Amino acid sequence: MRHLLFMLLLLGGLARSEALLINTGQRQSVSLNGAWATIVDPYETGYFNYRHEPYDQEKEPSTSAFFMNHHARDKSELVEYDFDKSPALNVPGDWNTQRESLFYYEGTVWFKRSFDDIRKDRKSRLFVYFGAVNYQAEVYLNGHKLGTHEGGFTPFNFEVTTLLRPRDNFLVLKVDNKRFAQAVPTVNTDWWNYGGITRDVALIEEPRTLIQDYQIQLKKNAAQTISGFVQLDGATDGEAVQIEIPELGLVQPLTTQKGYATFEISAKNIQHWSPEVPKLYQVFVQTRYQRLRDDIGFRTIATDGPNILLNGKSVYLRGISIHEENPLRGARAFSEADALQALTWAKELGCNYVRLAHYPHNEHMLRLADRLGLLVWEEIPVYWTVDFANVATLKNARQQLVEAISRDRNRAAIIVWSMANETPPSPARNAFLNSLMEQARELDSTRLLSAALQHHANGTDAMTQVLDDSIGAQLDIIGVNEYIGWYGGTPQDAAHSRWLVPFNKPLVVSEFGAGAVAGRHGSRDERWTEEYQEYLYQQTLLMLESMPNLRGVSPWILADFRSPKRLLPGVQDGWNRKGLISNSGVKKKAFFTLRGFYEKKELEYR
């Protein structure tokens, strides 16, 4: 039944979330963060009747459906649930670390929050916005289904205007984080499957005609031309829009057709954004109904043979991979403080770039990267072996890509949209990734496309590594994950390895690394010691110097993170230990090895 519903949803059989509102932090809003009443429902009793048919497909849903939030009208009525008497969980947050009994739980939890109509103008519109819910969310207001969203790391919203009551509106979510083969990501991942409403929730008040979306960036290959579009919702033809950048003295009037307008603006005195000078301009998008401010940087990004060109100058990506987890709490990261902690560590490491693995992170991360001057590789969770031949799976991946690009395309920090991580080549996989790349280029032609690929030994010559995945021909940057000295071979083998890469494009080693327990010391040949991890880094960094076209690296990983796959007692205990920083915040020896390498690279590329 679950797989049938999934297919119906992605093939158009059920309601979907609506067109995304961007820049929600600058809109008139009220937070719905805080304590939400919850019911743990492993058998999905509140969703299916005894014949396993969904209640929300009935013409008159039963009061037994949890989304009806029904209360007994008298003492004789049978009602077998009650949100008001149920325990609460904090939103945003994951349920795994808030309640010990849910630590390994994968299944359905119902969330309920009541609110009053907060509109200052009863003629305005109201939307409910979710930063992310993992994984499938069925959303109801006052017993009416708003729609469904699939994907644990991208935002979505629904308009609720016509369903509002003056007081005591109740919003109910069925949140289900069960893994299944057709999902994106699929059943097998090397990170914790945190369940819950994991990012901010807000009620957003909008005028009847609202600014829904816009893109304001430098035109591709044009360092002095700002271009893009503005999309209104609820507009008639001929609606006036204005784009203003006061610091540049720019005012650009537009007229929409069917709510949409494109533009190009000459900006000869523009100061380009870079890691050294992360300049952001206040940009205003205005109609007669609304004025939105955004802080936007302008920079160009391109490739020329093996070089990555930022504002026309060759750049080396001194990076680190990051999971969206606060290691000190061992929980899903969700706040601006969480994001600042991770990016501050990256800056201390000497990074000018971060790879956000393996899914879109919280919007806080991208906006802070803009302010701090960190280039970003953003990825969707097409990870390992998703169901590449499944039409619904591709549609889901494309939807997550749309939501990620829509939310983040105005962030100067993002230079790479990544399509996948370590996916095994096949005709079905190639068609899948090509479809994603086609969509990415249609949505945003100004960024570079990449994917983290895999390599193989050259026949019987184990010391020669070949990176010849045919999908590389379609990428702008070739990414490769390699673990010589950890998953096969010794650290010394890394330093003596040779690489054959048949693409005259920039190469980025998107992952390498080794596990170490902070404070465990021994010889450099003893696994799990800081010395082994340090030695592997030293040998791998020697290898990097001889790799053809190498223009960046993002080792695995900034900090230890939870993973149910990592089970070695006394060493892993449910943690992936490849972090350069431990889950208690201790910097391991390899942290300083990598920082020294980055100091040298920074001098080379000045």
pLDDT band for 272, please (50, 70, 90 cuts): very high
Cα-to-chain-centroid distance, residue 147: 21
Q: Which helix (H) or strand (E) holds 148?
A: strand 144-150
Whether 11 shows a pLDDT value over 50: the answer reads no
Give the pLDDT confidence score for residue 18 in this predicted structure: 80
Question: Tell me: the pLDDT tens digits for 408-460?
Answer: 999 999 999 999 999 999 999 999 999 999 999 999 999 999 999 999 999 88
Report the distance separating Cα 334 and Cα 38, nearest Å: 19
Strand order through the sheet with 461-466: 456-458, 461-466, 498-500
CA angle 205, 293, 203 (to 5 degrees): 20
Single pTM value for the model = 0.95
284 within 8 A of 527, measured Cβ to Cβ = no
Whether 10 shows a pLDDT value over 60: the answer reads no
Give the pLDDT confidence score for residue 193 in this predicted structure: 98
Give the pLDDT confidence score for residue 606 in this predicted structure: 85
Question: Tell me: the pLDDT tens digits for 550-599?
Answer: 999 999 999 999 999 999 999 999 999 999 999 999 999 999 999 999 99
Query: Which of 1-5, 181-185, 330-334 comes out lowest in average pLDDT?
Result: 1-5
The amino acid at residue 57 is Q
Give the pLDDT confidence score for residue 460 in this predicted structure: 82
Strand order through the sheet with 301-304: 301-304, 307-310, 313-314
Give the pLDDT confidence score for residue 395 in this predicted structure: 97
**118 preceded by cis ω (within 30°)?**
no
266: which strand partners?
A: 225
For the residues 207-218, what does the mean pLDDT come to?
Answer: 97
Whether 12 shows a pLDDT value over 50: the answer reads no
Question: Tell me: the pLDDT tens digits for 165-178?
Answer: 999 999 999 999 99
For the residues 469-475, what does the mean pLDDT come to?
Answer: 97
Question: Tell me: the pLDDT tens digits for 350-368?
Answer: 999 999 999 999 999 999 9
Give the pLDDT confidence score for residue 461 in this predicted structure: 86
Around Cβ 128, how many Cβ atoms within 10 Å? 22
> What's the chain's Rg over C-alpha atoms?
25
Question: Tell me: the pLDDT tens digits for 494-504?
Answer: 999 999 999 99
CA distances from 361 to 56, 57, 289, 537 (A): 31, 33, 32, 27
Give the pLDDT confidence score for residue 588 in this predicted structure: 98
- How many helices (H) and strands (E) in the chain? 8, 35
The amino acid at residue 134 is N
For the residues 282-301, what does the mean pLDDT come to?
Answer: 98
